[in-house]
Amino acid sequence: MQSVNSVRTNGRWVPAEVAGPAGRHAVVVGGSLAGLLAAQVLTGHAERVTIVERDRFPEEDEEGGEAGAVGEGTASASRPGVPQSRHPHVLLEGGQLALDALLPGFMAELRAAGAPRVGMPADMVQWQNGRWFRRVPASTHIHTGSRAQIERLIRRRVLAHPSVALVEGTDTVGLLGDAARVRGVLLRKRGDGARDEQRELAADLVVDASGRSTKAPRWLAAIGADAPYEEIIDTGLAYASRVYRDTTGTLGGEPSAGALGLHVVPNPTQPYGFVVLPLEDGTHLATFSGLRGDEPSTDDSEFESYAKRLPHPVVHRWLREAEPLSPVSGFRRTANVRRRYDLPGRRPAGFLATGDALCTFNPIYGQGMAVAAMSAVALRDALADPRRTPTTRRVQKAVLAASRQAWDISAGSDKKMPGATGNAVAVRLADRVAGWYLHRVQERTPGDPVVGRAFRSVVSLNEPLGALFAPAVARAVLFGPARETPAEPPMTREGREGTEYGAS
């Protein structure tokens, strides 16, 4: 066993001592969104921050994109550590605000790089609970560019910081220290001939951002600490995605009228989902979702026929005419998992978890990236709080709290899905009361701009759940009728751009 004596900084291998003067050292396991954003925050609290990533990041071409042919720079650009990159990644408003708070000007940069911005509900033809949404002016926007693009731009910003170093192509395989304090990580380089060589990297703080497949609970047990209790709700949802070119003229037409995407939202009585969204290179990413036992096929020749299960032929028609540009990719590990490091137990100082390694959501709600960014904001605020000593436990609680609303949305909805399994599926009395109210909210969301606006502000993680109980919203939910909605998919917008129903 030997100590790590070199790190890669801004693309060059240099001795560790050159990467920064001796002092506090933080190690972040995982160089994806949650890890990069945590590292950015930690630059304010440690003299050196080392990101350990098992993949090697793609080389960038001269324009700053990753080299490749059609589709390869977008949804198809996937590295082994983030296979979910081949599937749609919407960036919710809560995440947009958090990213701008962490990396000023980031959203403008993302827009300038071509990431499409889709107004909800104005730009989307959307079906939910037996209703088509009225396409009234947008009250929130999502970004629908590829995950690879978002990660690449964040990576560029974070790795430019002089105290951040990157160790690529290296697995973290364990923790150093004991149940009282974590003192670093155990690393193993990937690649030929390097498999058995393990090295130690000392650290004052270790942040686990290694994603939904984290091994940290095992690493903690190996040093005598307690693994966290895990809450699990699994609907068995599976994704199948494929890149298309819209040859129909249906999507991406005149912004003032045409739709930018199609979305069929599943529910307990209609469990099949579909979404097609624009990517930054002008192509579209189409995805089916289905539950355990009736998953969408990943066979190229069978992909389109899954559309026959949907409640309207509009999707099937679009797919029949659009041009497929990639093979079909599948994804099945979609359970909601929350690791309760905040609960009492033998927890070592100097160890934190964030991002999917802390709380993973069913991806259908589109929350993970936003929560990764909001968790980094919570980390920043907890570390900088002048009123409280930032103990490991206190900071971990604050980071977990950043995911609470997202968890309530995805876990609360998934409990109701047929066949959901896991130790957290039990429906309590409070869930039933909330479920009754939320059902009425959802009935009104497609047709009532006031209720719709409140609902969107909550699911986009921009406002707390309490927004659904504001007086005007509660009146409409409790006493108002569900307003009329379009009988057929609305292919044009309603109302004036930039104004909101109910605002005047």
Residue in 102, 209, 399, 482 binding ligand FAD, rule: CB under 6 A: 209
32 binds ligand FAD (CB under 6 A): yes
66 binds ligand FAD (CB under 6 A): no
Question: What is the C-alpha to C-alpha distance for residues 389 and 394, in angstroms, rounded to an integer?
Answer: 8
**Which residues lie across from 287 on neighbouring strands?**
241, 275
Q: Which residues of 14-36 are buried (b: 16+ CB within 10 A; e: fewer)?
A: eebeebbeeeebbbbbbbbbbbb
**Residue closer to ligand FAD (CB basis): 163 or 210:** 210
331 binds ligand FAD (CB under 6 A): yes
Smallest separation, CB 399 to ligand FAD (Å) = 12
31 binds ligand FAD (CB under 6 A): yes
**Residue closer to ligand FAD (CB basis): 29 or 441:** 29
Pair 377, 405: CB distance under 8 Å: no
**Residue closer to ligand FAD (CB basis): 154 or 482:** 154
174 binds ligand FAD (CB under 6 A): no
- Scanning 85-93, 244-252, 344-352, 485-493 for contacts with ligand FAD by CB under 6 A, the matching segment is 85-93
88 binds ligand FAD (CB under 6 A): yes
375 binds ligand FAD (CB under 6 A): no
Listed residue (74, 452, 76) closest to 281, CA to CA: 74
33 binds ligand FAD (CB under 6 A): yes
Helices (H) and strands (E) in the chain, counts: 12, 24
Question: What is the C-alpha to C-alpha distance for residues 422 and 403, in angstroms, rounded to an integer?
Answer: 19
167 binds ligand FAD (CB under 6 A): no
Q: Which residue has the tokens 């995605």?
A: 241
30 binds ligand FAD (CB under 6 A): yes
**Residue closer to ligand FAD (CB basis): 121 or 211:** 211
Question: What is the C-alpha to C-alpha distance for residues 195 and 404, in angstroms, rounded to an integer?
Answer: 39
Pair 304, 318: CB distance under 8 Å: no
211 binds ligand FAD (CB under 6 A): yes
CA 134 to chain centre: 27
Query: Could you give the dihedral angle defined by the CA atoms of residues 406, 411, 414 and 415, in that order, rounded to the nearest 10 degrees?
Result: -160
Smallest separation, CB 79 to ligand FAD (Å) = 7
216 binds ligand FAD (CB under 6 A): no
Smallest separation, CB 371 to ligand FAD (Å) = 7
Neighbour tally for 335: CB within 10 Å = 20
Query: Could you give the dihedral angle defined by the CA atoms of residues 363, 369, 375 and 379, in that order, rounded to the nearest 10 degrees?
Result: 150
Near ligand FAD in 437-476, by CB under 6 A:
none
- Scanning 9-17, 47-55, 401-409, 481-489 for contacts with ligand FAD by CB under 6 A, the matching segment is 47-55
Instruction: Compute CA distances 61 → 48, 58, 68, 219, whole Å.
Output: 28, 9, 9, 38
Smallest separation, CB 52 to ligand FAD (Å) = 5
**Which residues lie across from 324 on neighbouring strands?**
244
- Scanning 41-49, 51-59, 316-324, 400-408 for contacts with ligand FAD by CB under 6 A, the matching segment is 51-59
**Residue closer to ligand FAD (CB basis): 298 or 485:** 298
Smallest separation, CB 149 to ligand FAD (Å) = 13
89 binds ligand FAD (CB under 6 A): yes
Question: What is the C-alpha to C-alpha distance for residues 276 and 428, in angstroms, rounded to an integer?
Answer: 35
**Which residues lie across from 241 on neighbouring strands?**
287, 329
Smallest separation, CB 170 to ligand FAD (Å) = 7
171 binds ligand FAD (CB under 6 A): yes
- Scanning 110-118, 337-345, 362-370, 440-448 for contacts with ligand FAD by CB under 6 A, the matching segment is 362-370
Question: What is the C-alpha to C-alpha distance for residues 18 and 268, in angstroms, rounded to an integer?
Answer: 57
- Scanning 48-56, 157-165, 260-268, 299-307 for contacts with ligand FAD by CB under 6 A, the matching segment is 48-56
Structure tokens given for 336: 């909601």
Residue in 237, 260, 370, 473 binding ligand FAD, rule: CB under 6 A: 370
3-state secondary structure of 360: strand
Question: What is the C-alpha to C-alpha distance for residues 466 and 462, in angstroms, rounded to an integer?
Answer: 11
Question: What is the C-alpha to C-alpha distance for residues 277 and 279, in angstroms, rounded to an integer?
Answer: 7
Question: What is the C-alpha to C-alpha distance for residues 116 and 132, in angstroms, rounded to an integer?
Answer: 23
Pair 197, 316: CB distance under 8 Å: no
53 binds ligand FAD (CB under 6 A): yes
Cα R_g (the chain), whole angstroms: 23
Residue in 25, 48, 87, 456 binding ligand FAD, rule: CB under 6 A: 87
329 binds ligand FAD (CB under 6 A): no
Residue in 39, 41, 46, 52 binding ligand FAD, rule: CB under 6 A: 52
Chain residues that interact with ligand FAD, rule: CB under 6 A: 29-35, 52-55, 81-82, 84, 87-90, 171-172, 209-212, 239, 331, 355-357, 363, 366-370, 372
